[in-house]
Amino acid sequence: MSEVVINSKQALDNYIEELRDKWDKHKYLRITAKTGKQRTLTQNKCLHLFCENVAQEMDAAGFDFRRSLRADIDVPWNAALIKEYIWVAVQKAMTGKESTTEPTTKEYGEIYEVVSRHLGEKFGVHVPWPNKEELSRGD
């Protein structure tokens, strides 16, 4: 059975009927249910633009990756490093979720707030979450 999104009473009723049919046929079911909306495509685009913007600000402020997190690596910040070593690290600590596809739309906002506060307090860098106009300029 593929992933099913239930977002209405009718969809729920249909799914329950499908489950009953499968139960009648197989007498054994394994089901995983997740609640909350997954992050949107817009949030995904914003995350990548945010990481790029943070990398530029960190480099402009003179904080290279080595001085900021790892003393044995001398490389400038880039979006991939921001995503992996800052965003995903905070995401894992807050939600236990490994992939950026897993947090809900609400969790995305909560993760951003923690990341933004950390960057501001530790490095004096503040990068706002991208808006739709910024996304359309990047396409």
| Residue ranges, the chain, pLDDT below 50 | none
- Confidence at residue 88, expressed as pLDDT on a 0 to 100 scale: 95
Which is it for the CA torsion 51, 136, 127, 55, positive or negative? positive
- Confidence at residue 72, expressed as pLDDT on a 0 to 100 scale: 64
Rounded to whole angstroms, the Cα distance separating 139 from 136 reads 5
- Confidence at residue 84, expressed as pLDDT on a 0 to 100 scale: 92
Amino acid at position 17, single letter: E
Question: Two tokens at 117?
Answer: 């506060």
- Confidence at residue 74, expressed as pLDDT on a 0 to 100 scale: 66
Q: Is the pTM of this model over 0.75?
A: no
- Confidence at residue 131, expressed as pLDDT on a 0 to 100 scale: 87
- Confidence at residue 38, expressed as pLDDT on a 0 to 100 scale: 78
First-to-last C-alpha distance (Å) of the chain: 35
- Confidence at residue 118, expressed as pLDDT on a 0 to 100 scale: 94
